[in-house]
Structure 1
Amino acid sequence: MNQKHQEDLAHIRSMMERSSRFISLSGLSGVFAGLSALLGGLYVYQLFKANGMDYLNDEHRLYSISLVSELFWTAIIILICAFAFGAFFTIRKSRKYNLPIWTSVTKKMLFNLAVPLTTGGIFCLALIYHGYFGLVAPCTLIFYGLAVINAEKYTFSDIKYLGFCELILGCISIFYIGYGLIFWIIGFGILHILYGLIMFKKYK
């Protein structure tokens, strides 16, 4: 009898989890988003070299309008790839386990994610407009970390650890202006891959 009650309680908890949290998020989304960021970061490093800039040794860097434009569009492409992989693996997981995707919880999660991201995006555009290029990478890490922490209550609670790591990394990188690309590769590339692998193993 007690075993039946325990099974019933487990079933109830599972149903409550499904109704209150977005659990279709796949760890593979994080892995492939991280790989996109890693490849994008390496491309940017090569781009600096092609423009005669030794990123790790040059203290004073001159960013031409064409270089800033190429960096901007590279960031947009990386963002699109990350979202595309996220959508693909989320839909695949939802179909595999017969989970709903577009629910009120999904909308709440996306809203809580979008507010800090949109604010951060506008802030970074303002930094670019005023020529504060060295602050862009740290700010993307900080606002992304805040967005992930803000959305945690509507998905797996483990995601908050990724958010705090991104936030801490961004705060550290503020004190090392000029090395933002290194921190950016670590935050959006390596951390995402590690987080994705852990999540995939834990929730597969």
Structure 2
Amino acid sequence: MNQQQDQLSTLHEIRNIMDRSSRFISLSGLSGVAAGVSALIGAGVVKWYLVTHDINYQQNLSLHLTRESILFMLSVAGFVFILALCSATYFTARNARKTNHRVWDSKTERMLVNLFIPLAAGGVFCAILIYHNLLYLVAPVMLIFYGFALLNASKYTLSDIRYLGFFEIILGLLTSFFVGYGLLAWTLGFGVLHIVYGMLMYFKYER
């Protein structure tokens, strides 16, 4: 019995070593929390803008928003993305130093390439939708492509992020039918889900 337990323990250790050698495992759960908080702040700013300018999100997205409104929303989304990226870099680098792992190596490169290819495609597609005034599809498309990006990157980092990817895709598809709730879905997907995922990953891997 003890010999079997030793063998299982050895196999488990070998698997952990293989995971560490082939996956980027320094990704910090706090980066997800920070990204979620950034998204909530961004959604709050957009909501404030809509209220102060007497814009009904559900009605206006079926018509046309002004160029000023579109640029403002895009600027907020860009700011949220940059803030989330900076926080992810900071917390991941801190976690890597704590666990004596390198921040940048071939594993990091593979993970980022597989993450940003779907993100770039989604960004271009969103620009096409805006060009054709299909604004009501921008929020669900963001969620769907982001979900695919997480699924693609999960092969090279913590596999748990694929569950977040699944939820993002499902939420995006649902929002494609209920387009009037795009802002709410964007807030849930990029805000609430990120915070929940980040806290779960933090307590699972970093505590």
Give 1:122's aligned residue: 124
- Pick the aligned partner of 1:151 from 146, 150, 153: 153
CA-CA distance at 1:87 after TM superposition? 0.3
- Letter matched to residue 180 of structure 1: G
> Which residue of the partner structure matches residue 86 of structure 1?
88
Aligned to 1:179: 181
1:157 deviates by 1.0
CA distance in 2, matches of 1:102, 1:59: 42
Deviations 1:32-82 (A, max 9, x none): 100000110111011111111133677855411111111111110000000
The offset of 1:200, in angstroms, is: 0.5
Question: Structure 1 counterpart of 2:116, which letter?
Answer: A
Partner AA of 1:92 in structure 2: R
Unaligned runs of 5+ in 2: none
The root-mean-square deviation of aligned C-alpha atoms, in Å, is 1.8
Counterpart amino acid of 2:53? N
Correspondent of 1:106 among 105, 108, 116: 108
**Which among 64, 67, 90 is matched to residue 65 of structure 1?**
67
Q: Is the contact between residue 64 and residue 133 of structure 2 (CA under 8 Å) also seen in structure 1?
A: no
Secondary structure of 1:179's counterpart equals helix
Q: May I ask how many residue pairs the two structures share in their alignment?
A: 204
Structure 1 residue 11: Cα displacement: 3.7
Change (3 A) 1:108 1:58: closer
For the residues of structure 1 that align with 2:174 and 2:48, how far apart are their CA atoms? 24
TM-score computed with the length of structure 2 as normaliser: 0.92
Shift of 1:6: 5.4
State the match for 1:188 in structure 2: 190
Give CA-to-partner distance per residue, 1:75-119, whole Å, 9 cap, x none: 100000000110000000000110112121111111111111000
Counterpart for residue 171 of structure 2: 169
Structure 1: which 5+ runs fail to align? none
Equivalent position SS for 2:24: coil
**Cα shift readout 1:144-171 (whole Å, capped 9, x = no counterpart):** 0001011111111111000000000000
* Alignment partner, residue 200 of structure 1: 202
